[in-house]
Structures are given as C-alpha cells and as structure tokens.
Amino acid sequence: MVLAYDGAIQRLIDSFASLPGIGPKGAQRIAFYLLQAPDVESQRLVDAISEVKAKVKFCEICGNVCESSPCAICSDPRRDHTTICVVEEPKDVMSIENTREYRGLYQVLGGAINPMANIGPSDLNIAQLLNRLKDGQVKEVIVALNPNIEGEATTTYLSRLLTPLDIKVTRLASGLPVGGDLEYADEITLSRALEGRREV
C-alpha cells in the first residue's frame, strides 16, 4: 500500500502530480512549499489560475490563445496575411515569434495526428485552416510541426491535402533534433530551419 497524507495536502499533491512535467516528488515539493509560503504568494497562484480560466480563450481564426478574439496577431494589419505557419500548440507560436524571423499569420492545430492516442485529423483545427485558404489570399503555408512521428504523419497528411490547392506548401528545414519538440529548439536553430524551409 502506498502511504498518503491526509485529505487536503494529498489532494494538492495529486493535483500537481497530474500536471504535465511534474512527477510525484516535484508535486510533493511544490505542495509543501505552498503550505509554508506566505498567504499572499499562494493567493497569487490561485488568482492566476482563476484569471486564466476566466479570461483566456482561443482565437476564432487561428486557434491561438488570446484574451480577445481575433487575437493580436490575426488582427494586426502590419503582418503578412499571405503566409500561414501551421503549428501544433500555442507555445509553438511563441517559439517562432521569438525567432523574430516570421511576420506572417499562424494556424494552431491543437495537437498532431496520433492513432495511439486516438487523435485523428478531425480532432485538429484542419477544417479551420482549409476555410482560411478558400479566398485565395494565402500564397504560402509553412508546416512547422514537431520533428517526431506524430508531427511527420501530420505534415504528410497536410501536404497531401494542400498540394491540389495551388498554394506553396513548405516545411521547416532539417537541423531540428529528430524526436524533439519545437519548444526546446533554440532560437538560432529554429530561425535557420525557418529560413531554409523547403517545398513539400
């Protein structure tokens, strides 16, 4: 039998442990840290979580996180509205923005095709992307998915779908670590991959 703490503290540990990237030990450390922290500090965390759940939504155009939809990127007339960069998650938008190489728009898919986890094309924002390509304004779609099996499968699926549409479809150049995650690529590697993108 695994020993557990009584009531509230164990519930807090379990809540942290269920989050991505936090193991049971880390969850316990954070829970006890908060228990001993000044009330104002723990309240700041509670408020930040409530605020994010109340205010943050997904952009109706690109699927990125925002406080007012359309997001700041979609509604910025100075951005290049003829290019869409397709990424898996909102955090990938941030990674590409940090390169300062890209001035176009985004489409956040909300994941990648993964048969093992029962995630198929219809679970992703692919219809949203196709809808945006209808008016002929978009000339290039840059597929910037994670360099792993799921990202590759999704890139292949998208390129088959987009090729007949007479839009230039490119993907990031190699140089990104295979099996890795866009989030962990350093800015120089990512901006080179963006610069060296090739047609699919």
Note the residues at the interface with Zn ion (CB under 5 A). Answer: 59, 61-62, 64, 70-71, 74
Q: Provide the minimum distance between the beta carbon of 133 and Zn ion in the complex, in angstroms, as a whole number.
A: 15
Q: Provide the minimum distance between the beta carbon of 81 and Zn ion in the complex, in angstroms, as a whole number.
A: 11
Query: Among all chains, which residue has been given the structure tokens 């995630």?
Result: 119
For Zn ion, the closer of residues 27 and 84 by Cβ is 84
Q: Provide the minimum distance between the beta carbon of 87 and Zn ion in the complex, in angstroms, as a whole number.
A: 12
For Zn ion, the closer of residues 87 and 176 by Cβ is 87
Question: Cβ neighbours of residue 41 under 8 Å, at least 6 residues apart?
Answer: 34
Between helix 39-55 and helix 24-36 the angle, nearest 10°, is 120
Cα radius of gyration (the chain): 20
For Zn ion, the closer of residues 70 and 110 by Cβ is 70
For Zn ion, the closer of residues 62 and 129 by Cβ is 62
For Zn ion, the closer of residues 132 and 192 by Cβ is 132
Q: Provide the minimum distance between the beta carbon of 94 and Zn ion in the complex, in angstroms, as a whole number.
A: 13
Q: Provide the minimum distance between the beta carbon of 21 and Zn ion in the complex, in angstroms, as a whole number.
A: 26
Nearest 10 degrees: CA dihedral of 171, 176, 179, 180? -110
Q: Provide the minimum distance between the beta carbon of 129 and Zn ion in the complex, in angstroms, as a whole number.
A: 12
For Zn ion, the closer of residues 44 and 103 by Cβ is 103
Question: Cβ neighbours of residue 85 under 8 Å, at least 6 residues apart?
Answer: 96, 102, 104, 105, 106, 107, 141, 142, 144
